[in-house]
Structures are given as structure tokens and as C-alpha cells.
Structure 1
């Protein structure tokens, strides 16, 4: 294996970095179960925990495909019905932390495989229920990229819910935006506002 990072290394390292940024939030001493399950007023029906759960479940669906028999065709089903025990991920900081840590371990194992470039080029069949069952051809690399973009999307909503309370400004920001802004970028100072009801 070469010591020079390859494109596949960057792809997996990005996914690991995204999980690490979520774990940084979940490892804060002041984050409580009540905060995790707090129902957002800005995004009705949302909570920090529900968004973290969705991130972990999507990456976990990806990781499950890697645990299949190496001679079997690879399948990813993001719409698979999860067990009732998954609800604790959205309600308990500890359960959420464990789910994200399990995802991280799967991604690290992927990164340590013998030929990462070839592994990410492997064909995978994505099962979608929309609501008719569909089977779509893809590759592991493309699906890992999807999982990472999906995580950024949910992290952005986590940032909205916890705005100015818990999160660093980079959280939920696409890597290309961070590069564009540069290391000296600071968020603008915005005066608070209130929404006025229509008369």
C-alpha cells in the first residue's frame, strides 16, 4: 500500500472526519439527553437526536454491505425497516454516541483494507422503496460520497437547532465551502430578529 494518499483515502477520511465532528458534539460534558431530544421550534418534528440517528443509520446501511460475504453481490438498502431499539439513539446521548462510534469503526476498517481504490470501485445494488421497490446500480465509492453529503445536510439542520449554543461554525459546512472561505474566515455578526405574525 502506498504512503501517498489516493483519492479513495480522501473519500474515506472525509467520512471519518464527519463522524468525528458529530462525536465531538456528543462528547461534550454539557450535552444532556433532554437537549438531544428537544423538539425544535425552527424545524418542526426535528431534534438533534433524530438528525444524528439518521446520519448514523445511513452510514450503518453502507457499512452493513461491507459485512456481507465477499462472494455475494453487494446491496445497500437505506429504506430498510430498523428495529424499535433504534429510537434510543435519538433519545440518549450514550446510545447516540455508541451508534456513531460503531459507524466510525466500520469506516476505519474500510480504510484499512488492502486495496481501497479497488474496493470503492466495486459495484453495489442500491434498493430504494419510493414506494415501488427499485434496484439501482452504483459503486461503493459513490454511495460513501452520498452518505457524507447526506451527513452534511443533517448536520446543517443540527446546527440550526443548536445555533449559537453548542456547535463550532464549521459543523454542517461542506468541505468545499470551508476551503473557499479560507482559514481566517469568521462568521458575520447578525443582530437577533423575531418573526412577526401576519395581521
Structure 2
């Protein structure tokens, strides 16, 4: 595996681990409390949403040849959404999957097909790469981490400072 792709897998593991650590002190009540600012939104729902995307990508990468990834057809893992322990357990298994996939030399060279729902409801397919989709999942997670951080502040909690920021923002702010 090339060093750039390995770096992406490492970054995914680092960001997922930070998410798990950030959730650690939460109670299940805090994890599932609905936001007043974002009605219907909970920390658990955002965690589940993040993990659903990684799961879809990693499941496709485990198929031979790689299967189509369709981010709009998520299973919505309630186990990860409803309890802190469920979220943290799913994060840990996602990190393990990422580490296992990162050890497969040359296994991720084939292009991927990405399918998603467009405005108007049409499904469209696109060609992509493992690196591009892993990058997407990481940055998608960071943006949801920012929402999770906002929810934590709304509930009187204090997430780690670096939690809601992209690595490029952290580097820029140094």
C-alpha cells in the first residue's frame, strides 16, 4: 500500500479514536438528548451517521472486486446511536476494520463505484478511488464532530479543543 493511502487509514483511525475518547465521559442520557438548536438531533445520531459511512466504504472494500458504495443506503445502526457503550464499541470495531484493511498490500488499487441520490431522487453512479472516499469519510466525520461539539456545548459539556477541527485548521492555528 502506498504511503499516502496508509496515511489516510492512520488519520481515520486517529480521528475515530478521538471521537471515542470524547464520548467516554458522556452518560446515555446526554448521548440521546435531543438538541433545542437542531431539533431531532442527538450526539448518538451523529455518531451513528459517521460510522454508517465508514461501514459502507469498508464493506465495499472487503468485497472482491470492490462493490459499489451507496452512501444514501445506510442501515442506520441503532446500537451505535442509542448508548455510549454501543457507540464506543462500534467505533472500536471500525478502527479494527480500518487497521485490517490498511495491511492489505495493493488491495485498494481498483477504482470504486459510488452511487448516491441526487436532487430529484435520481440515483447516479460515479467512479472514485479508495483514497478519495476514505478522505471523504474522514472530513465528513470532522464536520459531524463539529456538530457534536456544538451539541456538547449546548448540554454544558466541554469537548477537547481539537475535536471539532480539521487537521489543516489545527496546523493553521498553531
Q: TM-score, normalised by structure 1?
A: 0.79
| Corresponding residue to 1:170 among 162, 168, 172 | 162
Task: Indicate conservation of the 8 Å contact 1:66/1:74, yes or no.
Answer: yes
Distance of 2:27 and 2:35 partners within structure 1: 15
Counterpart in the other structure of 2:86: 95
Deviation for aligned residue 1:73:
4.4
CA RMSD of aligned residues (A): 1.8
Q: How many residues align?
A: 170
* Structure 1 residues without counterparts, runs of 5 or longer: 183-199
Aligned counterpart in structure 1 of residue 147 of structure 2, from 157, 181, 187: 157
Matched position secondary structure for 2:22:
helix
1:104 — aligned with what? Answer: 95
What's the CA shift for 1:19? 0.3
- Map 1:160-199 to 2 at 5 A: 160-163=150-153, 165-182=157-174
Q: After superposing the two structures, state which structure 1 stretch, 45-54 or 73-82, moved more.
A: 73-82
User: TM-score of the superposition, structure 2-length normalised?
Assistant: 0.90
Structure 2 stretches lacking a partner, 5+ long: none
Distance in 2 (CA, whole Å) between partners of 1:46 and 1:129 is: 22
Larger of the two Rg values belongs to structure: 1
SS at match of 1:74: coil
Q: Which residue of 2 aligns with 1:114?
A: 105
Q: Which residue of 1 aligns with 2:40?
A: 45
Deviating beyond 6 angstroms after TM superposition, the runs of 4 or more aligned structure 1 residues are: none
1:134 match: secondary structure? strand
